[in-house]
Amino acid sequence: MKKLHLATVWLGGCSGCHISFLDLDEWLTDLAGHVELVYSPLADAKEFPPDVDVALVEGAVANTDHLRLIRQVRERARLLLCFGDCALTGNVASLRNPLGAPTELLERVYMSGADRRAPLPPDTGGVVPQLLEQVLPVHAVVAVDAYLPGCPPPAERIHAILEPLLASELSQLAEHEVGEVG
Ligand code: SF4
């Protein structure tokens, strides 16, 4: 039987949500029997692929790379889950918002707030993504299908949400395959 295509995405977050995902321990072995991990910081895919069934998104939308990626995720994934509080609300990632626009922020961090006046990051012609004016939760940019709260969400909660969701997706996939054969 075809496996579900699962993706995990890392935007503006500390990777703690992904570490919690790894805390699923032995259930990851069961999971591997039913899903193919087609995109993830835990895998080596460079481009977000088409035809993803479920995408878990960690982190807020903080720069132009995040913006491009989350729009691509929304176009290509059938179900998009906000994975942790940074994706849900901005959380830690959005603590910079009250400090002002990116130019003021960079000036404060690299110049006025620094012991040594390091130069500002150079304009790299787009190689380094530009900061957005404000850090945004994922739902402010694209439609979200489900929310998985926590900082990070504990492994038990990830399991409790993913297991029935994936079971339902797998049964739909099986029905679709039977329909195709018939
Ligand atoms: Fe890190 Fe918490 Fe944000 Fe997850 S929700 S990326 S653990 S700060």
Give the pLDDT confidence score for residue 124 in this predicted structure. Answer: 66
Atom of ligand 1 nearest to the CA of 92: 8
Cα 103 from chain centre: 26
Global pTM?
Answer: 0.90
Q: How many angstroms separate the alpha carbon of residue 2 from the centre of ligand 1?
A: 32
Q: How many angstroms separate the alpha carbon of residue 122 from the centre of ligand 1?
A: 29
CATH superfamily of 4-96+131-175: NADH:ubiquinone oxidoreductase-like, 20kDa subunit (3.40.50.700)
pLDDT, block means (10 residues), the chain with 182 residues = 92 97 94 94 92 97 97 97 98 93 84 75 74 97 97 96 87 71 45
Atom of ligand 1 nearest to the CA of 88: 5
Q: Where exactly are the structural domains of the chain? A: 4-96+131-175
Give the pLDDT confidence score for residue 170 in this predicted structure. Answer: 79
Candidates 67, 132, 135, 58; CA nearest to 95 is 135
Share of the chain above pLDDT 70, in %: 91
Reported as a single tens digit per residue, the pLDDT across 54-107 is: 999 999 999 999 999 999 999 999 999 999 999 999 999 999 999 888 888 888
Give the pLDDT confidence score for residue 25 in this predicted structure. Answer: 93
Could you tell me the two tokens for 137?
């939760």
Give the pLDDT confidence score for residue 175 in this predicted structure. Answer: 78
Atom 3 of ligand 1: nearest residue by CA position: 86
Q: How many angstroms separate the alpha carbon of residue 126 from the centre of ligand 1?
A: 27
Q: How many angstroms separate the alpha carbon of residue 89 from the centre of ligand 1?
A: 11
Cα(24)–Cα(16) distance, integer angstroms: 13
